[in-house]
Structure formats: structure tokens, C-alpha cells
Structure 1
């Protein structure tokens, strides 16, 4: 039997939820509740569109120019976003993950980042997807298998779907008081600013997204019992993504692809992150894994 282009298909189901995980990139290919899509899906035998649903590691978002210095050594990564000259979303998005556990409501997959040009560290990445009555939780755990300290960051890349229509038609609640501004051409980080000075990106009071363009990281997150949450709604239905303090940042992207009607603003990317864009250079909230260390982060998607 020929393996689909997106890899082996691992289906889990429980409590009215169904998820399909594709082994390439440990990607969340499908998530439904009572038959309703909560994320933008893609076909099993399709090359995954961009980073839709993938697991981001060992960094989320961008490293500017693909260059950084760590422990006194300069490193140059491949520029995987060539139009902007950036190293985008880590090293595992096209890697084949192996199965560690497959149950009806839970799967665990793993891959190893081998030492390579630009990232000469050996880090094992394990991810668990688990369904329960509160939706789908993903947990990503990194283990430093090498002999040197390694820089680390992670996050997911789902495109949430509130209901019928497109991003413009949905309302967003995002309790973030600060936004990381970026350059127009390359989306390189500039400065953290209060959303009060950029009201187009202030969604602390739930409101219609409309035609606002968003491809920014937010912080200064308001939390309840340590949990931050994004809520995306259409009428009386919607979807929520929540996470704890291990992710002090979240990237929001309106999936703008002008001229490509099939993918233009069809879902809202919501990406909790352990660190901001270009953290390998700024060191802001950067996790440093010492030899033998582990680090875990988790997030949850549920129907509203």
C-alpha cells in the first residue's frame, strides 16, 4: 500500500471529537467536533499546504537572516522562507515522525533533530495528541540527547475555523495587551508596543475581524487560573485555543494570500509559542536545554 503524501494517518476519536494526525511533521490534518471542522483540513494524499497543522521545533516563527550566535558560536541556517530571507518554523515540519503509542483516543509520536549545519545539537522531540471531553490537547516535549546546551522553542500551527465564511466574517477575542511590531517587507521583529497604540490589533474586547491584516506575535496575556485563551466565533458557534504560562506568546495570522481564493483568509492561524520570533538572537523567553534536560509545553483546542 502506498503511503499518502502527508505520511501515515493516525485517527483518534472520543467524546464527539475526531482528529487525524499525519506523520509528516506530526501534523494535525483534521479536527472535527460532531462533524464540524475546527481547523482547516487538508487531504491525506496532498503535500501539506505550507505549515498547516504542523509541529514547530526547535523554534517557532522566524530567525532573521537565518543567523544567530549561541554560546559564543555563530550559526547560519538554511533560508526556508527565501522571499523574505528568513529561517522559518524550525527543522521538523517535513520530517517523518515515528509512532510511540497509538490508542483510540491518544497517539504519541517522536522524531530526532540530528546535529546539522546551523543547529549542531541533538534533540529528541516527542508529541502527544490526546482527546477528552474538553477537546484535543497537544503536548510537545524536547529532550537534549547531546553533550552541549541547545537553544529551544516550540509551538503549533493550526488554522482555526469558526464556522461558515472566512476570517473576515468571524469575531475574535484575544486578551493580549502588547503586540510585536514587524517590518512590512520581511516581517522581522521591530519592537513590543501596547495594543492601545495599535487599535487595529486590539481584540481584548471581542469584535469582528473584518478586513484587518494580522501576522503578529502578541504578549502581555491576560489569564484565568494561569490559562490564556483565544476565542473565534461565528454566531453561537466557534472554537477556542488555550494554553498555560509555558507559552508567554501567541502568533495570530489571518492567512492572507491575495489572488489565491482557495486559501485566502480561510482560517485563522493561532500559534501559542514558548518564545517570540527571532528569539535565538534576542534570547527573550528562549529555553536553553542543558544536556539531559527536558522541556514540555501544551495547548488545547475545543469547540464552542
Structure 2
């Protein structure tokens, strides 16, 4: 039933005559015997919660602050108990609005960094708002504090779905393009699934686009955790200035090199307070058309839980690893960020998505617990 529901929603979202602002279901809820979509709030923020009523697994989405994925709770394959998968804001609305760590945020129409906030597209220069004031870069997109519209929702016997939509109207500083985005959040017995669809609603003009996600996956001790990239492909490290993830502006130099840091099956290393520091981007070398999905796992040796991030290879060939949460925020978590294009792709053009008039793009990733 849920598959048919998702296909029906996909058809609705693909219709050029349907706008994300054409429907609003903020106050409604949906329930069946096994799955439900219910409302929640903390502070002045409002959430849609997808819940498995039998297992109590859930996914919480803040739809009036960028559609960020606030919480994922799944049942451990090891203990059978609920496990918080990602770092949350602990129901602190002020923390959400301060946005100090970008946790859980969907990043678009650009992800990661744009050098000095300036880029050229179609022989015109644009200046984006600065978000990293230390390095003076634009960062992580424009949707993080926007209110999304609840386009549709449904609970069935095999899952719960919420669809959110947003229209860029061309009024954003540095992004004068008409872009429609549709987010589909699904909770099933297999785990959490997310799909993003972007559509250029201009008839003739092209537009640039990039998308990513910024989750922090919780572990017991970062230094002991083992991150393993998909071994069906080799991985290129994206080099940055000074060949350093600390003494650098974190803008790609254009060079890459093969590396196997996350295919060895070894712990991240370092200490509990100061794990080995990674703020590094990689790209799969295998043609994404030949690999439908790339699977990255985080093994927690303390609990024996395995968290699995599955990203669509054709849409999300990049993966950024950040282990600085322990030192910067005092949280034992590893950020694994799937991205559609390289950092600063608005300038280096490496996998920048260019949508022509009325053209669409779709990408998907998912999260589950394994044993």
C-alpha cells in the first residue's frame, strides 16, 4: 500500500500544475493500526512525526524551520530497544534557531561552501549571504530557516509519509532563480527514507543547484567508532588548500587523490575528548550509473549497533566526514553528509546540477540500523 502511496505522491509532485503552496495540512493527523503521522511542537516550532505505533520507532521533522530531520529513533537490532540515531536539539527551540551546528538540516540550493559567497553563472556574478564568518564563505544553503508547506501526508499498513514543499521566488540574495523543491519523508519497517525533487519552474532560463544533508550520527565514543565506506568502489579524497582540514579555507583545489582511510575497518582513533579530526570530503570513483547505491556504515563497538547510510549513487556521489562534534560541542557523534556535488561546485562546476527550463532532478538517501 505504501509503495502505491509514494508513487501517487510522486505523480502529484511531478505535475507542473501543482504548487507546493497549493495545500496545507499542518493541523491534520493520519493514523492506521500500525503507522501514523502526528503533530508535535516545542517552543514556537512545529513538527510532523512519523511513527510506527507498534514499535514506537519515529522520525520527527521541523517543517517551519527548513524541513530539518530533527530526530530518528529506530529499534536496535542488538538490544531490541529504541535507539536515538542522530543528535537532536533536545526540544530547545532557541538552539534550533541559533543553528550553531546545522544538525539535521537539508542543505540547498547549495551545500557545503561557496568561496567568499561569490559565483559566476551564465556570465553573471552573484553574491550569496555569508554563513561562515571566520572563513568568509557562503555555506549550507538558504532553506534552513524557511517555513515549508505540508503538501500531503498518509499512514498505511506498511509505512507513513509526509511531503513538504517550498518555492524559491527569485528574491533571495545571490539566488534570483525560480526553483520548486519537494521533500518526501517516509518511515517504514526497514528504516527512514528521504527523497528530494527539484524543479526549475522557469520556462527558458537555466539555474544552478546542489543538495546535501547534515546529520550527526550518535555513537558511544567517536574515537572507537569504525566508519566504513562502500567497498564496491574506490574513493577520491578532495584536496583543499595547505593540504589540511584545519589550516585551510576548506575550498577544493581541484586536485584529488585515492585514499582508503575509511575502507580499512579501523577505529577513527584519538581520544574520547579529541578523536582524530576529519573535516574531509570524498567522491566515489566508480561510475555512479553502475552503482545504484553507496552504503556507508558506522559500527559502535560499545553497543555493537551498526548505523547504515545509503545514498543514491547517481544523485549523491560525494560524502563528507566530520568528527569535530566531540571537541566543538561535547557530543559523541560523527557527521556523514551525502552531497550531490563537490564543495564550491558553484565555482568549480564539479557535479554542479544545472536545470534547464521546466527540468527536474530527483535524489534519495535512507538510514537504518543493522546487526
Deviation at 1:221, TM superposition (A): 5.0
- Structure 2 unaligned blocks of 5 or more: 1-26, 28-39, 76-81, 242-246, 270-274
TM-score when normalising by structure 2: 0.74
Q: Which runs of 4+ in 1 moved over 4 A?
A: 221-225
Give the superposed CA RMSD. 2.2
CA gap 1:172/1:238 in 2 versus in 1, 3 angstroms: same
- Cα distance in 2 for partners of 1:221, 1:159 equals 25
CA deviations 1:54-97 (Å, max 9, x no partner) are 11110110000111100010111111111110000111011111
Please say which of residues 20-29 and 98-107 is displaced more in the overlay: 98-107
Q: How many residues align?
A: 295
- Asked if 1:31 corresponds to 2:72, the answer is yes
The answer (yes or no) to whether the contact 2:107–2:141 under 8 Å persists in 1 is yes
* Maintained 8 Å contact 1:161/1:238: no
Task: Select between 14-23 and 29-38 the one with higher mean Cα deviation.
Answer: 14-23
Distance in 2 of aligned mates of 1:288 and 1:157: 22
Q: Which residue of 2 aligns with 1:144?
A: 200
Alpha-carbon separation, structure 1, partners of 2:185 and 2:131: 27
Decide whether aligned partners of structure 1 residues 117 and 72 sit closer, same or farther in structure 2, where only a CA change above 3 A counts.
Answer: same
Superposed CA offset, 1:225-266 (max 9, x none) = 5211110011221201011221111111113463x5xx2352
What is the alpha-carbon distance in structure 1 between the residues aligned to residue 310 and residue 44 of structure 2?
26
* Alpha-carbon distance between aligned partners in 2 of 1:253 and 1:74, rounded to the nearest angstrom: 31
Unaligned runs of 5+ in 1: none
Residues 1-304 of structure 1: matches in 2 within 5 Å? 4-5=42-43, 7-14=45-52, 16=55, 17-23=57-63, 24-34=65-75, 35-46=82-93, 47-48=95-96, 49=99, 50-104=101-155, 105-115=160-170, 116-147=172-203, 148-162=205-219, 165-175=220-230, 176-183=234-241, 184-196=247-259, 202-210=261-269, 211-221=275-285, 225-235=291-301, 236-244=304-312, 245-256=314-325, 258=327, 260=328, 263-304=329-370
| Residues in 1 aligned to 2:147 and 2:296: alpha-carbon distance in whole angstroms | 30
Pair member with larger Rg: 2
1:182-226 per-residue CA deviation (whole Å, 9 max, x = no partner) reads 232321212443244xx6xx1112210112211111012568952
TM-score for both structures, normalised by structure 1 = 0.90
More helix as a share of residues:
2
